[in-house]
Structure 1
């Protein structure tokens, strides 16, 4: 009979309360050497709270933990790191004015003769970047890197810890298929080296590729455990939401022949893309796909005035509306829901009402006099309209990722736009919130609003789009009709 090895990490009856509100309800969890355990659940299920307790960011209200057979109760993240546990956060925590190498080794600088050994630091950081397929010099600053590349730097940072247990919280949320596969190869190597991994993701298809076991949480409790990773997605989702699942993607209304929005021969002043042209019909959902670095985000930022262009024009209802600034684009009825809702979409320390009001000052203060009552009333109507789970007085940073995204949507859709650009609209969002956002897209389409969707999730862009523009290395590789678009045809163009 094979010997059953003891787990390297054990949690027993871990509870967490904030006053009368209980967040975790007696969590039991074991992680063994060389296994990947997927920790799944909707936003607010308690996954991040469990992770933060393991990594010393949060202290549990009760319960116990053991690490490699000894009692374990880290008082802070440094104690956890020194014990051999590392966490790759969902939210980026890089210092933009430091170099990649400095970010990778911040707080634990390689030293020689009492001084920082910069050459050794840059060499070791460069090795990790190359392992992840990131073609960037370790001595360049983080400032200006795309969200996907920043995520890879975060991963490189964790890989240098030589940790015996890693918690990966949404590590592929900003990555495309090629970058995700490189990460999975690193995970396979770590697993072979005996490293235990807790893997948190809302991309459920990848769980079948990477996980050895699956633990499902709901409302702060562990509700189910699967002893294998190859479990049908529908089964996983139904255990997450506690009910049978209907269809993931809604039915979209047919699109007419009227062209509302046109991009003609557009070229980036930042050399991110060249000569892009397409038309979007009234009520059409137009997808943009491609690998990370293909120029997708840069394209939609240029369309909405956030990035400069060197050539080309943009037309709305036949009128030239080529923007010189985001404000000009907004005034023309073209709005962008950006890929990073925390840094670019919200003022986190301000209330939901204030965030919605900031984008709608004409409606809430037509006579230039700002009234808190008017803002609260306007916001309350839109909180209800878009199904935001929260009160207007709550700060945005107190909400789950799904509800934060709904607030960003609410503030821009309340402006009654003609074109809505959604960059990674469901990044890091659970299946329930995704469904709500897809329903909002259908509603916009039915009203004749043009919707442009950028997504690294190929299944998503295929599921919601009437047509798909595929980008490859900053150029337009092709446009596919819904009938001809599938994962193979999109990837063939994306890698052409």
Structure 2
């Protein structure tokens, strides 16, 4: 039994660390939270659960001192507190690790760890002390990161580790973790859960946001559900069923998350032979995709499945091999030329790669169709045509709130994902590649995205589904390729796509 599986004292026996009492947060035109109550006890993992846009991020932003409530109050160890800044929250031992990173790419790991909290003497930065302290923190957390390396040279999983490590530069009372495992491998996730178990034993209260039911079962003690900015209920994490959680979260019963897909494989659209990338992330991979089918690319984070698709799309340099699309050799063509030929790739990192965060939904939706009607009238853009198209697609995908002129950064993660997915409907695409399409989205939005992908397939598109979420591969793919260290480990079809068959190719290569 692992350390995080053992039974600790019941959370109800511990004292209250933090309380939110009748907290309301009003933004222009939107009430993000409406009279919400929440409590956190010492030594518990309290899951904050709800659909995207339910108010979770707003609540933790206020707890972390990054935003202030419009009304209501917070209490810390029984006394009223005003969390007017991140600095004030950290002085109380409250630290948050948000889903969106706040790292400076050009600065080193150790500089990022102590950004804003540098150790100085007579106004002079104590670099040796900073280096020593950073090394100690990373060693204590069992995070194997080079402290002198610029953050820009780290993988996304390693950057996530730096974000987590930042919370440990001072003594902790409350730790907020917002979707912390979204970029982590299984091994790194287990590391994090061991760390959480250790913090619980030390009496730290942990607020944890996740949409992964398995994580709730494994580490959660209590779950508080929010819906549309309102408090719904607080329930026991070990005894509340998945169906009940979905009902509380959405207000409805979601009987079937995954749709039944009617595949109709026709001619081959994409044929990739012995592909290798210049960065050696992909080595001799061969894949085919046909119109009217969903082909899954499975594998752990870093297995090469995303790099493979990026290379096919023209977003990553190819060293050798051939990419044929609609019987044409397109090896090494630019992303613009691939778009013009009917191939769309939607990346996993919507913030950095998929969306223009400071531009409105309207512009993000039309991005792949700027030369097509109704967005373009030849040489000039048609503002009216673009607005009509973006409005129709926003309504079809149930964007909330329905405000296409609002900048994308002010939407929840699930609605940001919808804005990016809408791009696939702005013109006729023959092949659409979805890279981790449901990262950080709730169960209700997840079901809608799956139905959306299924409909595209049934309407004759070829779909590439790149996913580290095994159930997505098992339930949506009619064929699947398993990647391991940049190579295709196995090709499975139909009834062969089982959990056992996929997993046995995740970790090690079969003997010849």
2-structure distance, mates of 1:384, 1:219: 18
Change (3 A) 1:103 1:349: same
> CA offsets per residue over residues 247-304 of structure 1, 9 Å max, x none?
0100111343632211111101012120011111222211122222222222221121
Note the C-alpha offset of 1:482. Answer: 3.9
Q: Which deviates the most, 84-93 or 484-493?
A: 484-493
- Tell me if the contact between 2:359 and 2:408 (Cα under 8 Å) persists in the aligned partners: yes
Summarize the Cα distance change of 1:493–1:112 in structure 2 as closer, same or farther, 3 Å threshold: farther
CA contact (8 A) 1:214 1:229 kept: no
Equivalent residue for 2:38, pick from 29, 37, 47 = 29
Shift of 1:99: 1.2
The equivalent of 2:394 in structure 1 is 383
1:361 to 2:373 alignment: no
Give the number of equivalent residue pairs.
495
Q: Structure 1 pair 483/30, CA: closer, same or farther in 2 (3 Å)?
A: same
Q: Decide whether the 8 Å contact of 1:132 with 1:179 is kept in 2.
A: no
Structure 1 counterpart of 2:337, from 328, 338, 344: 328
Q: Distance in 2 between matches of 1:79 and 1:347?
A: 32
The answer for the alignment partner of 2:3 in structure 1 is: none
On the 8 A contact 1:202/1:431 being kept in 2, the answer is yes
Q: Are the counterparts in 2 of residues 471 and 478 from structure 1 also a CA contact under 8 Å?
A: yes
Question: Equivalents in 2 of 1:19, 1:387: separation in Å?
Answer: 21
Contact 2:52–2:415 (CA under 8 A) maintained in structure 1: no
1:456 paired residue among 454, 461, 468: 468
Matched, 1:243 2:228: no
Residue in 2 aligned with 1:465? 477
Q: 1:137 aligns with which of 123, 131, 146?
A: 146
The corresponding residue for 2:5 is none
Distance in 1, Cα, partners of 2:320 & 2:465: 23
- Give the whole-Å Cα distance in 2 for the aligned partners of 1:103 and 1:331: 41
Shift of 1:133: 6.0
Give the direction of change, closer, same or farther, for the CA distance of 1:229–1:412 in structure 2 (3 Å limit): same
Q: 1:220 to 1:378 in 2, by over 3 A?
A: closer
Instruction: Indicate how the Cα distance of structure 1 residues 276 and 75 shifts in structure 2: closer, same or farther if over 3 A, else same.
Output: same
* 1:414-493 mapped onto 2 (5 Å cutoff): 414-493=426-505
Alpha-carbon shift at residue 234 of structure 1 (Å)? 1.9
Match of 2:207 among 198, 202, 205: 198
Q: 1:264 & 1:419 partners in 2: Cα distance?
A: 17
Q: Is the 8 A contact 1:287 1:469 kept in 2?
A: yes
Q: Which of 66, 77, 85 lines up with 1:76 in the alignment? A: 85
Distance apart, 1:120 and its partner CA: 4.3
Which 10-residue stretch deviates more, 135-144 or 178-187?
135-144
Residues 359 and 317 of structure 1: is their aligned pair in 2 closer, same or farther, counting only changes over 3 Å? closer
> Which residue of 1 is the match for residue 420 of structure 2?
408
Alpha-carbon contact 1:207-1:230 (below 8 Å) kept: no
Corresponding residue to 2:118 among 109, 115, 124:
109
Shift of 1:392: 2.6
Further displaced range: 468-477 or 234-243: 468-477
Matching residue of 2:60: 51
What is the Cα deviation at residue 318 of structure 1?
2.1
For the structure 1 residues 199 and 318, does the alpha-carbon distance in structure 2 shift closer, same or farther, using more than 3 Å as the test? same
Q: Aligned residue for 1:165? A: 174
Give the structure-2-normalised TM-score: 0.91
| CA apart distance, 1:113 | 7.7
Rounded to whole Å, the distance in 2 between the matches of 1:188 and 1:280 is 44
1:8 aligned counterpart, secondary structure: strand
Deviation sequence 1:77-100 (CA, Å, 0-9, x none): 110011100000011111111112
Give the C-alpha shift of residue 207 in structure 1.
0.4
DSSP 3-state at the match of 1:151: helix
**Contact 2:266–2:292 under 8 Å retained in 1:** no
Equivalent residue of 1:143, what SS? helix
CA distance change for structure 1 residues 304 and 232 in 2, over 3 Å: closer, same or farther? same
Cα deviation for residue 160 of structure 1 reads 3.3
TM-fit CA distance, 1:177: 2.4
Q: Which moved more, 1:25-34 or 1:478-487?
A: 478-487
Find the partner of 2:190 among 181, 186, 192. Answer: 181
How far the C-alpha of 1:355 sits from its partner, in A, is 1.9
Query: What is the Cα deviation at residue 151 of structure 1?
Result: 1.7
1:210 Cα offset (Å): 0.7
Give SS of 2:106's match: coil
Deviation at 1:154, TM superposition (A): 1.1
Q: What's the offset of the Cα at 1:28?
A: 1.8
1:494 aligns with 2:506: yes
CA offset digits 1:43-99 (Å, max 9, x no partner): 111111111111111111222211123221111111001110000001111111111
Q: Which moved more, 1:216-225 or 1:379-388?
A: 379-388
CA-based RMSD: 2.1
